[in-house]
Structure 1
Amino acid sequence: MTGSTHDCADLDRLLHLIGLLGDPKDPGFWDSWRAESHGYSFDKIKAGIACLARDEPGMHDHWAYDFADYVLMLFDTSSPEEEQRLVKDVGGTLSSGSIFAVGTQYLSDLRATAWHVWREHKRIGSDTVIQQWQEAPQSSEHEKWRALRKE
């Protein structure tokens, strides 16, 4: 992707996808693709992008994780009907042709990319996971399972 400013390709992709929705300075930007939501989500996305532009040591993972978390929340739906409205609104913003196909693909790509950013910036190493699971006590079912094996 041209114009990348971060070492994290998924974060660049997520920013690109957000950018496809248009210029947030344009009148009606928010209402064109998320009319039923309120400005708080917009403000969180704006603040998240502003944080990503800062160059503060040690903050990148936190800011990228937080930004991706808000993107996931903003593009979440709670019913099939709400999902279809969002698909139609986003698709209509991005395309004058295949509104449902474009909206569906866009949301799928955006959510998967936001998930990757969220996951990769929620830093926990495999060595930590191994240690945590080795130190965890056995489940309450462990003794029942051992007893069944002996029978």
Structure 2
Amino acid sequence: MDAPAHDCRDLDQLLRLIGILGSPANEHSFWESWRPKDHGYGFKKIKAGIVALHRPDADHDYLARDFADYVLMLFATETPEGEAQLVDSIGRHITAGHSTAVGTQFLADLRNTAWRVWRDHRGPNADSVVDWWRQTSYPGER
């Protein structure tokens, strides 16, 4: 597998976290049981995002941001019950120990890492922001 276009530790970490959930080819995998009412939508979006990130002609920033956006969306829950079910499912798939604690920590790490990938591939860099502020005055002073 080819490396990303630039050093991107958070994207590497995000892929490693997804890998902790197991290979999608394994029977009875997390991916087989995840979001069963969506008929594979989440699985297909995760797969497409991972594969696209390593195309030689890939726009790394766009694809990393798009992939992270889907991870954030697909691992979001709308109710406390939905959150508890997701935590339980993740925890049971990755540990024989305290599945709630492990699932909770894993999900928080996954979301935080996806957020950093999205944020860091989103827009202006620090130099751009400094230039914007250096070159403008207060709106009433223009």
Task: Tell me the TM-score normalised to structure 1 length.
Answer: 0.78
- The correspondence of residues 1-150 of structure 1 with structure 2, limited to 5 A, is 5-6=3-4, 7-29=7-29, 30-35=31-36, 37-56=38-57, 59-129=59-129, 131=132, 134=136, 137=139
Preserved CA contact (<8 Å) 1:33 1:93: no
In 1, distance between residues paired with 2:129 and 2:116? 19
What are the superposed Cα offsets for residues 37-96 of structure 1, whole Å, 9 maximum, x if unpaired?
441111111000011111216x00000000000000111000111100100000000011
Q: Cα gap change, 1:97/1:123 in structure 2, threshold over 3 Å: closer, same or farther? A: same
Shift of 1:124: 1.3
In 1, distance between residues paired with 2:34 and 2:90? 5
- Structure 2: gaps (5+ residues): none
Q: Cα gap change, 1:73/1:136 in structure 2, threshold over 3 Å: closer, same or farther? A: farther
In 1, distance between residues paired with 2:90 and 2:56? 32
In our comparison, the structure showing a higher alpha carbon Rg is 1
Q: Which amino acid aligns with 2:77?
A: T
Give aligned pairs, total. 135
Shift of 1:128: 4.1
Q: Which amino acid aligns with 2:97?
A: G
Specify the SS of the correspondent of 1:18: helix
What are the superposed Cα offsets for residues 84-132 of structure 1, whole Å, 9 maximum, x if unpaired?
0100000000011110010000001000000000000002134544627
Shift of 1:32: 3.5
Q: Equivalent pairs: percent with the same residue? A: 51
What is the RMSD of the two structures over their aligned residues, measured on CA atoms? Answer: 2.4
Q: What is residue 144 of structure 1 aligned with on the other side?
A: none
Shift of 1:27: 2.6
- Structure 1: gaps (5+ residues): 139-151
Range that drifts further, 127-136 or 90-99: 127-136
